[in-house]
Amino acid sequence: MKRVLCFLFAAVSIGALSAGLARAETGSRAAPVKSGPAIALGSAWYPEQWPEAVWEKDLALMEAAGMNMVRVGEFAWSSLEPEEGRFTLDWLERAIDAAAKHHLVVVLGTPTDAPPAWLTSKYPETLRVDETGRRMQHGSRRQFSYTSAKYRELCRTIVEQLAQRFGHDANVIGWQIGNEYTEDSFDAESIRLFHAWLKEKYGSIEQLNRQWVTAYWSQTYDTWEQIPMSTGRGNPGLMLDYKRFVTDQWRSFQKNQLDVIRRHADRRQFVTTNLGGLGWANRFNRREIAADLDLISWDNYVGSGHIEPYRNGATHDLVRGWRRQNFWVMEIQPGFVDWAGVSNSLDKGETRALVWSAIGHGADGIAFWQWRSALNGQEQYHGAIVGPDGKPLPLYGEVKQLSGDLAKVAQLLSGTKSESEVALLHDYDSRWAIDFNRFSNRYDQLAVLVDYYHALRDRTQSVDIVDPLSPLEGYKLVVAPSLNVVSEATARHLVRYVEQGGHLVLGPRSGMKNEFNALNVQRQPGPLVSALGARVEQFYALLDDAPVSGAWGDGKATVWAEYFSELEPGVLVPLRYGKCNGWLDGQPAAVTRKLGKGTITYLGAALDPALMARIAEQWVRDAGVPDHTLPAPAGVEVCRRVGADRELYVLINHASKSVRVELPEEMQDVLQGGPTRAVELDGRGVGVISRPTRK
C-alpha cells in the first residue's frame, strides 16, 4: 500500500498547480507545501455525522483502498457555527489532521449550500422565493436566495473563519465553494436587482424597448419596474437577458466567497466548485462561472440505466472546454443513486469504467459520493463505499482495484492532457434561444449535438467542445450544430477563422437570432450569409423523414430541414432533398464554398446516423485532420492523453463481453506490464497503453 500511495502522491495535479501559481497575489506564503496527488482518488467524507471514535476506522479503510484525498465540510455549517458568531472549528482541524495521518489530502468545502436553522429563522429574508411567490422553508438545502445581501454577508463570515484557520494548512490542497449551484429566486430583492441589471445594460428604457421590439403586443415599458421577471414563455429578449442575469448573480455569489479565500489562503490551494445537473444543465452559463476558478470540477452521475459512452464522454469534453484545461470529477456515482426513476446499480466493473472514462477525457481527480451511508437524511439510500456499520460494501473491492491501476499509471498521466484538432461549438445563448421555442418537440438540441459528436469522435477519438468565441486557430475543423444566436462579433470571429485556413461547418437552425434574441434580418445564417454565399429560404419541422442524396451520399433528413436560395457563383451543393413535402423537393440541403484559405459549409438538416457518419468522415478528410486514432472494436471507447514525450491511450470496454484490441505496432502495456501488439479486455474491462509522442 505504501508503494501505491508513493506513486499517487508523486506529482502535483497539473491543472490545480498551474492555475494556483498563476493567481496574481502579493505577500509571502510561509506554510509548508504539500503537493496534491498526480491523480487524486477519494470520496466525500462527513465526519460531523459520526462520533470521532469511528473516524480512525473510516480513514484506515480509505488508506487501505488506496485513496489519497477526501472532501469535507460542504454541508457542515450547523456544526461549524452552531449559533451566530460562535465558531466551533476544532473538530474540523482534528478531522483534517486525522486524514493527514492516513496520507489523505483534503479539499475543504464552504458550507453555504445548506444554511443552519438559526440563520433561516433569524433572517427569513434570506430564504428563496419560487416563481409562484412561495417562500421556501428550512429542512432541505438550497433554500437560500442567491441574491440576498444578508445571506452573502453571513456566507462571507463563515468562509473567512475557515480561510483564516485552514488557508495555510499543509494538508488542505483546495477549496470547493458551496455545492452544485442550482436555484434562482423571485423575491423582491432579486427583482430589484434584475431591473438594476437591465438599466445598467441598456442605459435607457427606450433602448431596451427598441432591442426587445416591445411594440409587439403592446409590451412597451415606461419604467424599469414594469418589466416582469419570469421563466414562462414571454418576450424572447427578456427571457434571454434573464438567463444572463442569473449567470451574473451566481458569478457574484461565487466571487463573494472566492475573494475571501484568496485573501487568506495559500496560492497553492486551488479554488473550485462542483457543477451538478449532469453537466449539460443550463440554468446559467457554466463557462462564465468556470472562468473565475482555478480548477473546474463537475459531478458525474448516470442515474437510471448504464453508461452512455458518447453522451457521457461529450459531457467531460464540454467541461474541459470551459477552461480548455484538465478538470476534476468531484462527485462520481458509487454504483447507484437514490433519485433516479429506477436507481439500478451499475454492473460490476462499470463504476471502474466510468472513472477511467473520466480520466481518459482529461480528469486529474475523482471523488466518489459518498464514502459511508448516512443513517438519516434525504439521501440515506444513496450508493456508498462502506455501509452504515462502517464495513465495506461490495463496491469497495472495485475501488481498491482502481487505485492499484492508478498506481501504475499516475506518473505517466501527470502532465498529459487531451488534444484535438476538431472542435464542436456549444453556446448557452443558443441553447436558451431554442429551448424558449423548440418549434418541434422532436428537436432535442443535446441529441443533435451528440449525433455530431458521435460521428466525429468515431473518426478522431478526440473532440473538444468549446465556446464560439474561444480561440479557434488550433483547430482544423470546427462544427457548430444549433448555433442559433450569431451576433456580428461572433460572425467576424468565425469568418476570420475560415479565411485563415479553417474549415467551418454550420448545422441546423444556425444564425436565426442576434444577441438580443431577435430574428436576424438577413435570414439564416444572419451575418454569415455573405460569407456563405447563400441563405436559408425556409425551415421546416418534419413529421416524416425526407430523402437526401448527392456527393456526400444518400440517406434521410429527420426532425428538421432547411433549404437554401440565392446561391452565389462558386457555391457547391453536396446534398439535395428528394421528393417529400413539395416545398423541399429538389432543393439544396447543404451548401459549401471556399473562403480565403478555408471553407464554410452549412448542413441544413438533421440526418440519419449512417449518412452522418459518412459525411463526418468527409469533413475530417477534407480538413486535413491528422490521424491519431487507435482502431478498436465497437463498444470500446478510446481516449488519448498527450504529454511532452509520450502519449497514452485509455481503452474502456463498455460491453459485457470480452474483446481483443489489435495494435498497429508494438506498444507498452502499462497495466499488465511489458510490450505488446494486442490488449485483451474483459467485459467492462480497461487497458492503458503508451508510446513515445509522435510529432
Cα→Cα distances 407→130, 265, 441, Å? 48, 30, 48
C-alpha cell at 239: 427571457
The secondary structure of 106-175, three-state, reads: EEEECCCCCCCHHHHHHCHHHECECCCCCECCCCCCCCECCCCHHHHHHHHHHHHHHHHHHCCCCCEEEE
Under DSSP, is residue 534 helix (H, G, I), strand (E, B) or coil?
A: coil
- Residue 653 main-chain phi, psi, to 5 deg: -90, 105
Amino acid present at 475 = Y
List the one residue out of 368, 371, 377, 207 whose CA is nearest residue 300: 368
Cα→Cα distances 12→31, 62, 363, 381, Å? 17, 20, 14, 35
CB atoms under 10 Å from CB of 523, counted, come to 17
35 burial (CB, 10 Å; 0-12 / 13-18 / 19+) is middle
- Residue 612 main-chain phi, psi, to 5 deg: -60, -40
Crossing angle of helices 445-460 and 428-436, rounded to 10°: 140
Cis peptide before 461 (omega within 30 of 0): no
Q: Which stretch of DSSP H or E encloses residue 648? A: strand 646-653
Contact at 8 Å (CB) between 329 and 299?
A: yes
Cα→Cα distances 489→144, 533, 654, Å? 37, 19, 42
CA quadruple 436, 442, 446, 448: dihedral, nearest 10: -120
- Taken in order 157, 158, 161, 166, the sign of the CA dihedral is negative
206 burial (CB, 10 Å; 0-12 / 13-18 / 19+) is exposed
Spatial CB neighbours of 359, under 8 Å, sequence gap ≥ 6: 39, 366, 413, 639, 650
Count the residues in the chain.
Answer: 695
Cα→Cα distances 688→67, 408, 675, Å? 20, 10, 12
List the one residue out of 664, 654, 657 whose CA is nearest residue 689: 664
The catalytic residue positions are: 180, 331
| β-bridge mates for residue 685, sequence order | none
Q: Which residue has the cell 478528410?
A: 621
The DSSP result for 573-588, as a single string, is: EEEEE-SSSSSSTT-E
List the one residue out of 294, 263, 319 whose CA is nearest residue 16: 294
Cα→Cα distances 289→247, 351, 627, Å? 7, 29, 34
567 burial (CB, 10 Å; 0-12 / 13-18 / 19+) is middle
Half-sphere exposure of 532 (CA within 13 A, CB side): 29
- Taken in order 415, 420, 426, 427, the sign of the CA dihedral is positive
Contact at 8 Å (CB) between 593 and 572?
A: yes
C-alpha cell at 635: 463498444
Amino acid present at 561 = A
Cα 332 to Cα 402: distance, rounded to the nearest angstrom: 14
